[in-house]
Structure 1
């Protein structure tokens, strides 16, 4: 039997979860918040079953599972968000995602981000060349609550603000060339950004915390409040301006 690589496993499972979510959405069985809850549960059940079967010796951190710090004793941990952007999914929008990632010794090593509403799955195993930068640069922010820090940085850089839903959708918009900078300071967890970070890093983008330090995964507390994913030519200025905003507060 041919062993399935970590990259292929992540891509297969993220895509399959997307199929489940699209089918549920189309069924009309649920609406609104109930649709999001059902989608989270069904996608998570499949992902947990498949990961435990395919990688029984690895740990798993999922938004939809009860967490245990025993995972911190594992070198390899799968970090999963079965439905990133529940609100957007429930509203029938396309800016939601499925995240399946593998962190090895705290490093986001393998990632797949499915964008089922767009029929795409982007992976760390098959990065595509980056498109040319947008002129002026485009900066992604929450469509409902843009962070003051991101707005400040965008104004200083002369960047155009682009509102979008889930973290995965925003990060992949940078990978796909629709935008250039994703600066987030509003609070996230490891499952919100591990797969996007892995895919973005493999594509050749800058990936870090907003203070420039590395993103570290499989921590006892999975809260990971901020990140910067952007084209490398914008990284130094974005980090400098973010620090300037913090110093002025």
Structure 2
């Protein structure tokens, strides 16, 4: 099984486990989120360590083993991206499984179990991008929309589209539901590694909001900001962000 096939298989399987936990009726609300995180994390970490014992591993739900920083190949996973949305029985949550090689998000799979049908978007199976809307749609957090996104959307005549998890937002751009995902409120490596691998494979622009590259497997896993957008909008969005900073 290739790395990409493994990532997709694990993301899809973890997604099914999470749906089972949610439909069991045993947990609700925050308890559901905790149970889902624990179940998916145990499966993903055990499976990766079994299938790729020589690789490093970084998971949101495990204590960070910083020995990974000396390794070229590191799996970066988010068992439930959008725990709040998962606990609220919404659809905008995801499972992230990625492989960073020498700091680059090279392989990724993002499962969207809440949408049904076992949907998994993969870096090894890119599809043509759908047609764009005339007015750019900017995906923003449901609870903390980025001020930069609001300002740039206003200048470019765009509209804001609130959505849950980072993975759901990034994949909405891949799926043609929006043109721009601009985030400046801070994230961690597991929030974006798999989505960036998938988005880049589909031809989207992926960078920091100052245009610099996204680098993974760092000692400090915090990532301040992120831009995933249609390449047709990248130059204008980056220019507007720079003008705000200036």
- With the shorter chain as reference, the TM-score category is over 0.9
Report the 3-state secondary structure (helix = DSSP H, G, I; strand = E; otherwise coil) of the residue aligned with 1:64.
Answer: coil
Report the 3-state secondary structure (helix = DSSP H, G, I; strand = E; otherwise coil) of the residue aligned with 2:13.
Answer: helix
Scaled by the length of structure 1, what TM-score is found?
0.97
Deviation of 1:21 after TM superposition, in Å, equals 0.5
Deviation of 1:225 after TM superposition, in Å, equals 1.5
Looking at structure 2, the residues matched to 227 and 150 of structure 1 have their Cα atoms a distance apart, in angstroms, of 11
What's the counterpart of residue 89 of structure 1? 86
What's the counterpart of residue 228 of structure 2? 229
Scaled by the length of structure 2, what TM-score is found?
0.98
What's the counterpart of residue 64 of structure 2? 67
1:108-163 CA distances to partner (integer Å, 9 max, x unpaired)? Answer: 00000000011310000101100011121111001122111110011011111100
Deviation of 1:82 after TM superposition, in Å, equals 0.1
Matched, 1:5 2:2: yes
What's the counterpart of residue 123 of structure 2? 124
1:22-47 CA distances to partner (integer Å, 9 max, x unpaired)? Answer: 00100111110010001000000000
Looking at structure 2, the residues matched to 134 and 13 of structure 1 have their Cα atoms a distance apart, in angstroms, of 33
What's the counterpart of residue 151 of structure 2? 152
Looking at structure 2, the residues matched to 106 and 15 of structure 1 have their Cα atoms a distance apart, in angstroms, of 25
Structure 2 unaligned segments of length 5 or more: list them. Answer: none
Looking at structure 1, the residues matched to 63 and 89 of structure 2 have their Cα atoms a distance apart, in angstroms, of 28
Matched, 1:216 2:215: yes
What's the counterpart of residue 184 of structure 1? 183
Report the 3-state secondary structure (helix = DSSP H, G, I; strand = E; otherwise coil) of the residue aligned with 2:187.
Answer: coil
Looking at structure 2, the residues matched to 38 and 190 of structure 1 have their Cα atoms a distance apart, in angstroms, of 22
What's the counterpart of residue 74 of structure 2? 77
1:52-105 CA distances to partner (integer Å, 9 max, x unpaired)? Answer: 000000000000010022100000000000000000000010000000000000
Report the 3-state secondary structure (helix = DSSP H, G, I; strand = E; otherwise coil) of the residue aligned with 2:185.
Answer: coil
Looking at structure 2, the residues matched to 244 and 24 of structure 1 have their Cα atoms a distance apart, in angstroms, of 47
Task: Number of aligned residue pairs: give it.
Answer: 244
Matched, 1:207 2:206: yes
Deviation of 1:245 after TM superposition, in Å, equals 1.5
Report the 3-state secondary structure (helix = DSSP H, G, I; strand = E; otherwise coil) of the residue aligned with 1:229.
Answer: strand
Structure 1 unaligned segments of length 5 or more: list them. Answer: none
What's the counterpart of residue 46 of structure 1? 43
Cα-Cα RMSD = 0.6
Instruction: Decide which of 13, 17, 21 is 1:24's aligned counterpart.
Output: 21
